[in-house]
Amino acid sequence: MSTPLAERIRPKTLEDYLSQHHLIGEDGALTAQLKSGILPSMIFWGPPGTGKTTLATIIATQSNRPFYQLSAVDSGVAAVREVIEKAKKADTLFTTKNPLLFIDEIHRFSKSQQDSLLGAVEKGLVTLIGATTENPSFEVIPALLSRSQVYVLKPFTKTDLEALLARALKIDEKLSKYNVELKESEALIRISGGDARKLLNALELVVLSEISEKNDAKVIITNNLVLKKIQKNTVLYDKTGEQHYDIVSAFIKSIRGSDPNAAVYWLARMIEGGEDVKFIARRLLILASEDIGMANPNALLLANSTFQAVTTIGYPEARIILSQCTIYLATSTKSNASYMAINNAQRLVKQTGDLSVPLSIRNAPTKLMKELGYGDNYAYAHNYEGNFIAHEFMPKELSNKTLYTPGNNSKENQLKKYLQSLWKEKYNF
């Protein structure tokens, strides 16, 4: 079985490692630690194909430590414990020689699997290096995250990717045998989506395919040739770049604008681009409250059920549930009144500071508090007709201040009438 180009030319030293100068450059965040050999547990967070695994391997080699590698895709708690047992038997007389445990796609580990790492990390049996394409704040348990330093790997620039192509053609023992001229690189870079692994795979496919079809060994790589050879219509969707945010923005605005056709189209773009199912579901949850809110309270319930369902099921079936929720939210009555209410309230708090809670609605658990008037004259609503009695719940400085204004839709128009029937002039919308 032929080793892929990306693996054949994987850098073995920091000198050969492209990009991430903010981490391993002269003043990089990791540079001083690498020189000292004293390494904390760390999480590498970045897009696919930006060198997370390569960097972990180089660190292990340069620090001369035992190195264990697991993939969260096919490793369970038993595999983690087995590695930890091996680490216990390793020579850990010096803390700088703690074995490194690299876990690729650590975000795919369940809570129990991540919990199984905690003890070894806390005791210093291993120094953890986790790699993830997802936000570790959401995907890594707090106890493990607090014991690790998070390093963000940036997407490769166009210059980085062009340098990687040139390096591959020069140093790879297989491709360097051929007479290859890289005349145009834009199509290769576009197809890769910034993923170095995809870039190199595409390069190798184009070169070898062209060599097999031609009698001579001269290959001139142009954009047209690349598009001709790469038959699959690759969906261009960089999960961390500008297009990622543009498509998510289009998705949200289509739902907000009550256009289910556009909303489902942008949903499909995200799904085909490999977007994390939980990321999409989280966006739907936020929208259900921010843009629909009290106009249709069931929207939030459905969005929450969608999040739980797709988290359990995953792709490909999760696409059906996401589609249902997207269409429901897009066709629902809209209101941002709840969103505006909390914005207004927070703005008011910043303007007015810590105003005193009215004595009548303070808690009075002690005799002294009762003697000071805490809870005096509090009117218990359920003792009155209709379970309501007019009472002042705001600080006296903010009496009659309106923060929530119901939207103009059937549900909130009912709420408006109800509030006005209770509060009369106070809620004169």
Strand locations in 10-110 (E): 42-45, 67-71, 100-104
83-97, 291-305, 391-405, range with the lowest pLDDT: 83-97
Residue 12 covered by a domain = no
Residue 304 and residue 349: Cα distance in Å, rounded?
29
pLDDT at 232: 46
Residue 409 and residue 336: Cα distance in Å, rounded?
11
Tally of domains within the chain: 4
Provide the 10 A C-beta neighbour count for residue 165.
22
Helix runs in 275-398, H state only: 277-287, 298-313, 318-330, 337-352, 367-371
What range defines the domain where residue 295 resides? 242-330
- Reported as a pLDDT band with limits 50, 70 and 90, residue 290 is very high
Residue 410: closest CA among 339, 333, 337, 341: 333
Say yes or no to pLDDT of 282 above 90: yes
Task: Judge if 271 and 306 occupy the same domain.
Answer: yes
pLDDT at 91: 52
Task: Judge if 173 and 51 occupy the same domain.
Answer: no
- Reported as a pLDDT band with limits 50, 70 and 90, residue 340 is very high
CATH of the domain at 251: 1.20.272.10
Residue 354 covered by a domain = no
- Whether a cis peptide bond, with omega within 30° of 0, leads into 316 is yes
- DSSP string for 241-306: SHHHHHHHHHHHHHHHTT-HHHHHHHHHHHHHTT--HHHHHHHHHHHIIIIIGGG-THHHHHHHHH
Question: 119: burial class by Cβ within 10 Å (0-12, 13-18, 19+)?
Answer: exposed
CATH of the domain at 218: 1.10.8.60
pLDDT, tens digit, 9 for 90 and up, residues 31-78? 888 887 788 899 999 888 889 999 999 998 888 888 888 887 777 778
Tokens at 357, concatenated: 């809670």
Say yes or no to pLDDT of 95 above 70: no
Residue 133, amino acid: T
pLDDT, tens digit, 9 for 90 and up, residues 172-210? 888 888 888 899 998 898 888 788 888 998 899 888 888
Task: Judge if 134 and 56 occupy the same domain.
Answer: yes
Residue 15 covered by a domain = no
Residue 312 and residue 318: Cα distance in Å, rounded?
9
- Reported as a pLDDT band with limits 50, 70 and 90, residue 334 is very high
Tokens at 53, concatenated: 């695994």
Say yes or no to pLDDT of 261 above 90: yes
Task: Judge if 85 and 191 occupy the same domain.
Answer: no
pLDDT at 87: 76
Task: Judge if 251 and 322 occupy the same domain.
Answer: yes
Task: Judge if 162 and 146 occupy the same domain.
Answer: no
Residue 325 and residue 303: Cα distance in Å, rounded?
6
Say yes or no to pLDDT of 391 above 50: yes
Instruction: Please name the helix (run of DSSP H) or strand (run of DSSP E) that holds residue 14, with its range, or none.
Output: none
Share of the chain above pLDDT 70, in %: 93
pLDDT at 429: 63
Helix axes 277-287 and 242-256, enclosed angle (nearest 10): 40
Residue 14 covered by a domain = no
CATH of the domain at 99: 3.40.50.300
Over range 149-158, report the average pLDDT: 89
Residue 281, amino acid: A
Mean pLDDT of the chain: 85
- The three-state secondary structure class of 75 is coil
Instruction: Please name the helix (run of DSSP H) or strand (run of DSSP E) that holds residue 84, with its range, or none.
Output: helix 77-89
Residue 205 and residue 290: Cα distance in Å, rounded?
47
- DSSP string for 85-149: HHHHHS--SSGGGPPEEEEETGGGS-HHHHHHHHHHHHHTS-EEEEEESS-HHHHS-HHHHHTSE
Task: Judge if 29 and 107 occupy the same domain.
Answer: yes
Say yes or no to pLDDT of 215 above 70: no
φ, ψ for residue 180 (rounded to 5)? -115, 130
Over range 90-103, report the average pLDDT: 68
Say yes or no to pLDDT of 221 above 50: yes
Residue 189 covered by a domain = yes
- Reported as a pLDDT band with limits 50, 70 and 90, residue 233 is very low
Which pTM was predicted? 0.55
Share of the chain above pLDDT 90, in %: 28
Can you give the C-alpha Rg of the chain in angstroms? 29
Residue 54 covered by a domain = yes
Task: Judge if 103 and 30 occupy the same domain.
Answer: yes
Say yes or no to pLDDT of 92 above 70: no
Over range 376-396, report the average pLDDT: 84
Residue 136 and residue 147: Cα distance in Å, rounded?
13
Domain final residue, candidates 229, 252, 273: 229
pLDDT, tens digit, 9 for 90 and up, residues 119-145? 888 888 889 999 998 888 878 888 899
The dihedral formed by the CA atoms of 77, 83, 85 and 86, expressed in degrees to the nearest 10:
170
| Residues paired with residue 218 on neighbouring β-strands, in sequence order | 179
Task: Judge if 214 and 273 occupy the same domain.
Answer: no
Residue 104 covered by a domain = yes
Task: Judge if 204 and 287 occupy the same domain.
Answer: no
Task: Judge if 30 and 146 occupy the same domain.
Answer: yes
Domain final residue, candidates 152, 168, 199: 152
Residue 403 covered by a domain = yes
Residue 295 and residue 333: Cα distance in Å, rounded?
6
Task: Judge if 50 and 113 occupy the same domain.
Answer: yes
Residue 79: closest CA among 90, 71, 67, 88: 71
Over range 261-279, report the average pLDDT: 89
